[in-house]
Amino acid sequence: TEDGTKTLRLTFLTEEAEEDGTESRNNYLRAEIFLSREPDAGEALEEQERLREATGAAGLEDEVVIEISGYYEGKMSREEQRIAAETLFDRMKAVRRDEIDEEELYTVYGYSSDGGEARSVAGVPVNVNLAVTYDEKMDRTVFRLGCPMIGTEY
C-alpha cells in the first residue's frame, strides 16, 4: 500500500511429476501479504476474500491460507501460552477442538464460524490452527496462526 503497511509478494511455482509413464504438471501462484502492524483476524479474512475474488476472476482454482506470526519477548510458561491461546481463540470466536502438548511445541486446533472454509482433522471440522514454539536464539515465544491450517513449517 502507499503507506507501507501492506506488502504483497507473488511467487510462481511449477510442480512436475511422472506416475505410471504419465507426466503431470501443476502450476501454483503463491500470494503472501505481509502487514507491518498488528493484524487482526477480521482484516486477515478480508484479505482472504480479496484473494479469492482475484483468483476466481482469473479462472484459477484457489486455496487461500492465512498465516499470522507474532511473538512475546522471553520464554512463556505452558500455562501462559494456554492463556494467550484462549484469549486469541475468544477474540476469533473460535472453539477449541484439539490440542497437542509436546515439550517444544504447543499446538491448538479450533473452529470459528467466522473463519472461512474448514478442513477435517480426525473427522472434526477445523479452520483455526495455532502453534507456539520458543526461539532460544532470539529469546522469544513465537505464535503462528493459520486459517484454515498453518501451511509452513514451524
Q: How confident is the model at residue 142 (pLDDT cuts 50, 70, 90)?
A: very high
Selection from 118, 123, 144 nearest residue 133 by Cα: 144
Q: What is the pLDDT of residue 15?
A: 87
Q: Which residue has the higher pLDDT, 105 or 146?
A: 105
Give per-residue pLDDT as tens, 96-107.
Answer: 999 999 989 999
The more confidently predicted of residues 126 and 70 is 126
Q: Which three cell numbers stand for residue 21?
A: 509413464
Q: What is the pLDDT of residues 27-86, one digit of tens each?
A: 777 777 766 656 566 666 677 777 778 877 877 776 777 788 888 999 999 999 999 999
Q: Is the confidence at residue 120, as pLDDT, over 70?
A: yes
C-alpha separations of 65 from 22, 61, 90, 145 in Å: 30, 13, 20, 10
What pLDDT does residue 3 have? 66
pLDDT of residue 13: 81
